[in-house]
Amino acid sequence: MDMFVVQGGRPLRGRVAVSGAKNAALPIMAAALATDGPTTLHGVPDLVDVRTMAALLQTLGVAVERAEDGSLQLEVVDKRPAIAEYELVRRMRASVCVLGPLLGRRGRAAVSLPGGCNIGHRPIDLHLRGLEALGADIRIERGYVVARANRLKGASLYLGGACGSTVTGTCNVMAAAVFAKGTTTIEAAACEPEVEDLGRYLNAMGARISGLGTPTLRIDGVDRLEGTTHTVIPDRIEAATLMIAAAMTRGEVTLDNVRLDHMTAVVRKLEEIGVKLQPQPEGAVHIDGTGPLRPADCIALPYPAIPTDVQAQLTALLTQAEGISVVTDKVFPDRFMHVSEMARMGARVRREGQSAIIAGGEPLSGASVMASDLRASAALVLAALAARGESVVRRIYHLDRGYERFEERLRMLGADIRRVVDTPANVPASLHPLSATAPESEAA
């Protein structure tokens, strides 16, 4: 297992490009199951979840190849397999996105109940209810969703749940409904840009979906979809993570390939906190994090509000803003595993219900911390970059699921971060409590 060793306290400076969005690329890759024609995808990041999706699609009869120009080529070569095995599906949530396209195109699917980040209760009842409304027969057998339908039928359905709509659920139902006979209307559809991007890809293949990006989708069913070429949108979560990294280290960074219009709530919140963002030509943005940071209250809600996937990073940032901040997560109210790890670095933060209460302004000090999920890992790396002294961030396999060459790109910005094997010998001597170079001794 790998870990990061980080020497904190260096302001990030320079320019890097944001990758294509993981959470758009994965359902789009899955939807390549819905056509017999070839799909070419540009902007698919090279990260563990994408490799897992490629491996899963291969078991489902799709040839997947990374071309020399970096594009991903997908083509169905065998339409018979319809079983998405536990071994691959358990590794990430987005695997469940094969269910809708398989059912719509092949009329049957057996998909293991999905895994994904351990960030709270993650049922798929809304996905299943939506597919049932289209006429699918659905059973849970030995941990698998077993779905069958001769021909799906258009219907009016409602995808709202207790915490808003469902992102992957909307992807699943939309990708199945493109083949349903007649018209489907989805109310309370997720409006996230990643869902819209999937819809654009399906429409480019010949689907007839309108209302993308709004809570009401209308889908007129078609008999077949053609192959197409599509460019995945930039990753708004990675962009936000890098913006916060610049601010936490009091640095100045320019990011390329940013869709600021996909991240208005995050941008406004960062400005309220004191980070200066200046749009530049051709999708670039300059981030100036050298000014004073102010406390703020943040609430993670479905799009267009602050995304839950940026909640942990904002929590890290606000530990550096003098005063009291409250960060609330209404999408995944239990997504606070990073809080106790940040406290190990000296952050004055505690969890209260669905919120983290932060008494910010204390400098963080290097420590050994453990990542619990994807965005918590990113937040801990950001905290380590800002801390005095060295830190070790363990279990970074979580981070590798969703960030492409994260430490290399941080190094391009001047960060001192190394990937090493997690062995006692690789833990810096300064992290031993009695070490002469431990931060407290330095201060003394």
Ligand X SMILES: CC(=O)N[C@H]1[C@@H](OP(=O)(O)OP(=O)(O)OC[C@H]2O[C@@H](n3ccc(=O)[nH]c3=O)[C@H](O)[C@@H]2O)O[C@H](CO)[C@@H](O)[C@@H]1O
Ligand Y SMILES: C=C(OP(=O)(O)O)C(=O)O
**Residue 161 interacting entry, from ligand Y, ligand X, none, C-beta within 5 to 8 Å by type:** ligand X
Q: How far is the CB of 130 from ligand X (least distance, A)?
A: 9
User: Which residues between 279 and 318 bind ligand X (CB under 6 A)?
Assistant: 307-309
Candidates 303, 240, 250; CA nearest to 270 is 240
Please report how close the Cβ of residue 402 comes to ligand Y at its closest, in angstroms. 5
Q: Do 319 and 350 meet the contact criterion of CB atoms below 8 Å apart?
A: no
Reference 173, options 114, 188, 162; nearest CA is: 188
| Binding-site residue positions for UDP-N-acetyl-alpha-D-glucosamine | 93, 122-126, 309, 331
Interface with ligand X includes 163 (CB under 6 A)? yes
Residue 124's nearest CA partner among 103, 140, 108 is 140
250 vs 338, which CB is nearer to ligand X? 338
Read out DSSP for 377-406? Answer: HHHHHHHHHHSBSEEEEE-THHHHTT-TTH
Piece of the chain touching ligand X by CB under 6 A; list 136-144, 165-173, 267-275, 409-417: 165-173
> Is 97 among the catalytic positions?
no
Strand partners, 279: 285
Which residue ranges make up the annotated binding site for phosphoenolpyruvate?
Answer: 22-23
Cis peptide before 424 (omega within 30 of 0): no
Binding ligand X (rule: CB under 6 A), the pick from 3, 33, 124, 378 is: 124
What is the rounded distance in angstroms from the CA atom of residue 1 to the CA atom of residue 426? 12
Q: Which residues are paired to 297 by β-bridges?
A: 326
Q: Is the dihedral of CA 5, 10, 11, 13 positive or negative?
A: negative
Contacts (CB under 6 A) with ligand X, residues 19-38: 23, 26
Residue 88 makes contact with ligand X by CB under 6 A: no
Task: Identify the three-state secondary structure at position 436.
Answer: coil
User: Which residues in the 92-121 window bind ligand X by CB under 6 A?
Assistant: 93-94, 121
Pick between residue 134 and residue 253 the one whose CB is nearest to ligand X.
Answer: 134
Beta bridge partners of 421: 2
Q: Is 127 in the site for ligand X (CB under 6 A)?
A: yes
167 binds, among ligand X, ligand Y, none (CB under 5 to 8 A by kind): ligand X
Per-residue DSSP letter, 227: -
Catalytic-role residue among 117, 171, 191, 298: 117
- By beta-carbon proximity to ligand X, the closer residue of 166 and 365 is 166
The residues of the shown chain that bind ligand X, judged by CB under 6 A, are 23, 26, 93-94, 121-127, 161-163, 166-169, 307-309, 331-332
- Active site members: 117
